[in-house]
Structure formats: C-alpha cells, structure tokens
Homo-oligomer: A and B are copies of this chain.
Amino acid sequence: MTKAIVLLSGGLDSATALAIAQSEGYACYTLSFHYGQRHASELVAAERVARAAAVEEHRVFPLELSVFGGSALTDPALAVPERQSKGIPSTYVPARNTVFLSIALAWAEVLNVQDIFIGVNAVDYSGYPDCRPQFIQAFEAMANLATKAALEGQELHIHAPLIALSKAQIINIGAELGVDYSLTVSCYQANEQGAACGVCDSCRLRAQGFRDAAIEDPTFYIERG
C-alpha cells in the first residue's frame, strides 16, 4: 500500500479528506498540530477520528504559532467573530497552511511518503489566502525542489480533494464513505467537552452544510439558558 500523510484538524473537512485518502487505497499517517488554538478539544476530536479510521500512526506536533499573535484563533486578546465578516476573517492564522504543509513535508521525507492530503475547500478559500488552488499548486512546486526525495526524482503531490466542494457536498461524500461526523468538532470556541457554540462562522457553515445536504446534524451544541 502507498503511504500518505493526512493533515487532521478534528473538524469535518479533514475527517472527510482522510476517508477519501483511505478510499483511494492509501495507508494513512495523520498529523495534527497543537498551535495554541483556543479550541484544544479539536485535538481530542482528531485523535478520535484517527482511531475510528484505524490509521497507521497519528502524531500531534507542538507548534507555538501563538507566540506571534495576530489571530483570534490563538490570541486571547482578540474576540472570535459571531457572524461572517467580509474579507479575511480575524480567525485567519498567519501562514498557517504553509507552516502545516511544511512540517508535513518534513515528516514525509522521513517516512519516504510522496502524498500529502489537506482538507481545504471552496468555502475556506473565499476568505483564507492559503486555501486557494493556486496556493496549493505553488506549494507543490516548491516542495518538489525542497527535498532529498525531489533531488532523487520522486514527485511529491499535495492532494486537496475537497478544494472545489461546498460544505454540503463534502458532507454527502463523507456520509457515503461512512464518516461519523459526531466524532468531529468544527467550532472555533468549543468547550472542553467538545460542545459547539453554534454562533461562530465555523458552526454556522457546518450547520448550513448539514441542512443543505439533507443529513441530520449530529453536532453536540452547548446548552444555552
């Protein structure tokens, strides 16, 4: 079996990307990052998803991106917005996907892996620069000059199988592949038990996705008084 590394956040998208990679026959190594995110419960979710999918190996890489500040996802001084903003959201983490893919590339070199999966998608790339198709292509081109494997003629591929899909399409594909979305956490400010706020951008997109996909939303929401 060909090995692949799959970036796994604990959310709905990356759980689906993992299911797609496995359905294509890859033996999957999953990689999560502890990068100072507020919603550390997503790391618990990522582990749950990795275990349910019986991956070869799951790693959590500690990455103190929060020391640089600049994002509502890692900086306690900035509020998580409760409605969709125009332009780049304050939940954007500087150069996040560049850093995540770079570290995946380092692990890929050691494992002798030529395939990396990332769950970016059309909904993301309307707001986040590092979720656009042209970014993924440029990263792949760079990676193919960066490594020992590249020098030896092996070609590295960055797979972004969700990149053109809507949230509803992602959910439909994942449901067909048997992904258990109750294991995933998408909320930007989930509580310690992984219950979702229901009001942040990410919660709204997810809930709308289940409605559009006509699939029951298994999300566990924080009870409000």
Contact = CB atoms under 8 A, between A and B. Distances in A.
Interface of A: 59, 61-65, 67-70, 88, 92-99, 101-103, 105-110, 129-130, 132, 134-135, 138-139, 141-143, 145-148, 150-151
A89 B211 CA distance: 55
Contacts of A68: 106-107, 110
Contacts of A97: 146
A60 to B, nearest CB: 10
Contacts of A59: 67
Given A63-B63, A138-B142, A139-B142, 9 more contacts: A88-B151, A93-B106, A95-B105, A95-B108, A96-B106, A98-B142, A99-B105, A134-B145, A138-B138
A102 B130 CA distance: 12
26 contacts: A61-B67, A62-B62, A68-B107, A68-B110, A70-B109, A88-B148, A94-B106, A95-B102, A95-B105, A96-B106, A98-B102, A99-B102, A99-B103, A101-B102, A102-B102, A129-B148, A129-B151, A130-B145, A135-B142, A138-B141, A138-B142, A138-B145, A138-B146, A139-B146, A141-B141, A141-B142
Contacts of A108: 95
Given A61-B67, A62-B64, A64-B62, A146 B135 contact: yes
Contacts of A132: 145
- Please indicate which of the listed interface residues A99, A106, A138 has the most CB atoms of chain B within 10 Å of its own CB: A106
Nearest to A148: B88
